[in-house]
Structure 1
Amino acid sequence: MDKNKNHDNVTEPQHVADNEISVNDIDNEFVEQQEAEAAKDIADEEMNKVDALQQELDQTRAQLEKEKKEYLFLMAEFDNFRKRTLKEKSELIKNGGENALKGLLPVVDDFERSLEAIKSSDDAASIREGVELIYNKFVKYLEQNGVKPIDSAPGVDFDTELHEAVTMFPAPDESQKGKVIDTVQKGYTLHDKVLRHAKVVVGQ
């Protein structure tokens, strides 16, 4: 009876130890499984980040390529606009000069007719009248094209923007100081811009 009891006492600790090892193995496997799943989740998350960054990079490249094409298109459009503008400006200048010269041809015709008339006439009055007609016609043509004489009549205030003093002359009285006394050469403006300053004598 006592012998059997001793036998049971010997075998029972071994059974308990086996159970403990089995539980430890299960715990280790569970921990390893959890760690593997966590590592997989981390790897998946990293891959998702990489995929998102790659997608963003692709979108950025596509946007950059689109903007590059738009930039090149705008540059080509601007270059065409610049060339077209230069051509139009050149033609405008050319045609403007052509029209101005064409308008002078009738004046040249009048001068030629006047010269022919002088050869066969000794009437100074008629010659003078013909020259005055040509002169008035020419002045009118200039005015039609924006050319106007600068006022430099005696008594006008001297203006450095319009007049050029070629000499200073003692004024007969105080009222003529700083005034135009005489005009040496008439001046003209073109659309309110000075084309040639009037050369004048100024009182001092």
Structure 2
Amino acid sequence: MNKKAEQAEEILNEENKENIQEEKTEESTQETENSTAESAEEQTEELSEEDKLKEQLKEANDKYLRLYSDFENFRRRNNKERLDLIQSAGSDVVKEMLPILDDFERAANSNTEAKEIDAVIEGFTLIQNKLNNILKTKGLTPMATQVGDDFDVDKHEAITNIPAPSPELKGKVVDIIEKGYLFNEKVIRYAKVVVGQ
């Protein structure tokens, strides 16, 4: 009986082993199914994350395009306004100079004889004063440059150097060829001068 008991025990052990193996197989199958289900869930989560990121990228691109187009429109509008301003900036000055142009035409068309030269000179002087007054109201002022002033690079443009007529005129203005002008306290034309050396 010992042998039968041993054989029965072996059979039971084998059946237990088979049962344990079946349970392990079932567990591993279940784990595989669970992991497959989990990976499927993770993939759907990843896909949804990917979709979210794609959506965010699309929104960011839309915002970028809108901002870029707004900026381009602003730049074009600003350039157009600046161009219009530049083109029409001098119109008020030109409009105020039209009467002076008319005065010059009247003076040129007048039949004057040689004995009325003083009247012609006086007429041109009046026109020049009128023009100077209009330009002064717009901010134009002549530079106060005189012979004997020190040569100043910020105000003067040296046309040529000549030997100084006297020792005190070395490095100073000897002659003024063209007046310099300031427009609203900024130099718009340097005085053209001759400097003594």
So what's the TM-score if we normalise by structure 2? 0.84
Query: Does the residue aligned with 1:181 lie in a helix, a strand or coil?
Result: strand
Residue type of the alignment partner of 1:74: L
Structure 1 residues 14 and 181: CA distance shift in structure 2, 3 A: same
**Is 1:91 aligned to 2:84, yes or no?**
yes
**Is 1:78 aligned to 2:96, yes or no?**
no
Equivalent-residue separation in structure 2 for 1:54 and 1:99 (angstroms): 68
Pairwise CA distance, 1:123: 4.1
**Is 1:196 aligned to 2:189, yes or no?**
yes
Residue type of the alignment partner of 1:67: A
Q: Is the 8 A contact 1:118 1:127 kept in 2?
A: no
Aligned-residue identity in percent: 34
Q: Is the 8 A contact 1:152 1:200 kept in 2?
A: no
> What 5-or-longer segments of structure 1 have no aligned partner?
1-7
> Which of 150, 153, 156 pairs up with 2:143?
150
Equivalent-residue separation in structure 1 for 2:47 and 2:109 (angstroms): 92
Equivalent-residue separation in structure 1 for 2:62 and 2:2 (angstroms): 91
Q: How many residues align?
A: 197
Structure 1 residues 10 and 171: CA distance shift in structure 2, 3 A: closer
Question: Which residue does the alignment assign to 1:174?
Answer: 167
Q: Is the 8 A contact 1:164 1:198 kept in 2?
A: yes
Query: How do 1:1-204 and structure 2 match up within 5 A?
Result: 8-9=1-2, 11-115=4-108, 119=112, 122-204=115-197
Residue type of the alignment partner of 1:102: K
Query: Does the residue aligned with 1:71 lie in a helix, a strand or coil?
Result: helix
Residue type of the alignment partner of 1:188: Y
Equivalent-residue separation in structure 2 for 1:19 and 1:151 (angstroms): 127
Pairwise CA distance, 1:179: 1.1
Q: String of CA shifts for 1:120-144, please: whole Å, max 9, x gaps.
A: 7944444333322211111122223
Equivalent-residue separation in structure 1 for 2:3 and 2:127 (angstroms): 151
So what's the TM-score if we normalise by structure 1? 0.81
Residue type of the alignment partner of 1:59: K
Query: Does the residue aligned with 2:49 lie in a helix, a strand or coil?
Result: helix
Pairwise CA distance, 1:26: 1.6
Q: String of CA shifts for 1:54-90, please: whole Å, max 9, x gaps.
A: 1221111101111111121122212211221222122
Query: Does the residue aligned with 1:86 lie in a helix, a strand or coil?
Result: helix
Equivalent-residue separation in structure 1 for 2:3 and 2:77 (angstroms): 111
Q: Which moved more, 1:117-126 or 1:35-44?
A: 117-126
Equivalent-residue separation in structure 2 for 1:183 and 1:9 (angstroms): 143
Q: Which moved more, 1:113-122 or 1:66-75?
A: 113-122
